[in-house]
Amino acid sequence: MEVFKECVVPSYARAEIAFERGSGAWLWDVEGKKYLDFFSGIAVTGLGHCHPAVAKALKDQIDRIWHTSNLYYIGPQGELAKKLSDLGNQGKAFFCNSGGEANEAALKLARLWGKKFNRGKSVILSLENSFHGRTLATVTATGQTKYQKGFEPLPAGFKRVKLNDLEDLGRKADDKVCGFFVEFLQGEGGLTLPDKAFIKKIFDLAKRRKFLVIADEVQAGLCRTGKFFAYQHFNVVPDVITLAKSLANGFPIGAMIAKREAADLFTPGKHASTFGGNFLATAAANAVIDTMIASKMDRQAQEKGEILAEGLKILKEKYAEFVSETKGLGLMRGLQLTDKIEGSQFVQKARAKGLIIGTAGHNVLRFLPPLVVTTAEIKSALSILDEVFYDYLVQDKPLFRSITAKPRPAGKKKKRR
Q: Domains along the chain?
A: 2-50+296-393 (3.90.1150.10), 52-294 (3.40.640.10)
- Residue 370's region, left for phi above 0, alpha for psi from -120 to 50, else beta, is beta
pLDDT at 5: 94
pLDDT at 340: 85
Name residues of the chain where pLDDT drops below 70: 395-417
CA dist 339 and 196 (Å) reads 27
3-state helix, strand, coil in the chain (%, to 5): 40, 15, 45
pLDDT at 395: 54
* Mutual angle of helices 279-294 and 52-62, in 10-degree steps: 150
CA dist 46 and 371 (Å) reads 5
pLDDT at 118: 80
User: Judging by DSSP bridges, how do beta strands 177-182 and 123-127 pair with one another?
Assistant: parallel
* Cα→Cα distances 324→264, 287, 348, 401, Å: 48, 40, 20, 21
pLDDT at 400: 45
Cα atoms in the 13 Å half-sphere on the side-chain side of 111? 11
Element (H, E) at 32: none
Angle at 207 between CA 204 and CA 211, to 5 degrees: 110
CA dist 170 and 349 (Å) reads 45
Predicted TM-score (pTM) of this structure: 0.93
pLDDT at 176: 96
